[in-house]
A and B are shown apart, each in its own frame.
Chain A
Amino acid sequence: GENVEQHPSTLSVQEGDSAVIKCTYSDSASNYFPWYKQELGKGPQLIIDIRSNVGEKKDQRIAVTLNKTAKHFSLHITETQPEDSAVYFCAASPVVYSGGGADGLTFGKGTHLIIQP
């Protein structure tokens, strides 16, 4: 099955600086890579996702890059703000495009992002 490694486990950055979280995956069949932000006691909130036909995607201060050859993908947050402090999870799964249902996501272990004021 799929195995997702996520680094670092804890990341502390100064407010306004950039944060980068990296993930690797093992299953070459995986083609869907979402990132979730989770605050204490709450459900994971999808912040951005990327599919294997795209190398990079950006949404305001958040960007994700994907290297399918190397089987790694990264989350980049620029101009960090205190409200960015949370646990971030990367995930991977294969996506069946028609009629077959969907496999579950395999998550990384999470990165605790701390934004220092």
Chain B
Amino acid sequence: AQSVAQPEDQVNVAEGNPLTVKCTYSVSGNPYLFWYVQYPNRGLQFLLKYITGDNLVKGSYGFEAEFNKSQTSFHLKKPSALVSDSALYFCAVSLYYNTDKLIFGTGTRLQVFP
């Protein structure tokens, strides 16, 4: 069965430092991968996606993610964290044969300290 894992419940980083939020996936076939962000008491917002092509994907708010097929990973990164980046981040995957349905990871809480 397809699944996506976010191994860290929380990531802490100082403002100005680079950040990485990890995601690994397990699917049969080619995955379509996504990152969403959730701010307190709000719905999820789309950040970026990988469908095909360049393994490095750029998204909103300066975030990027790198698709690594051999490691089945899709880590979210940002070169310089902001306090305002503090939120809950979700990785998601959909299958090529049912691209309508997104399966979300459990989420990683990012805390950026001033």
Instruction: Verify that A and B bind, or say they do not.
Output: no
Binding site for A on B (CB under 8 A): none
- A residues at B contact (CB < 8 Å): none
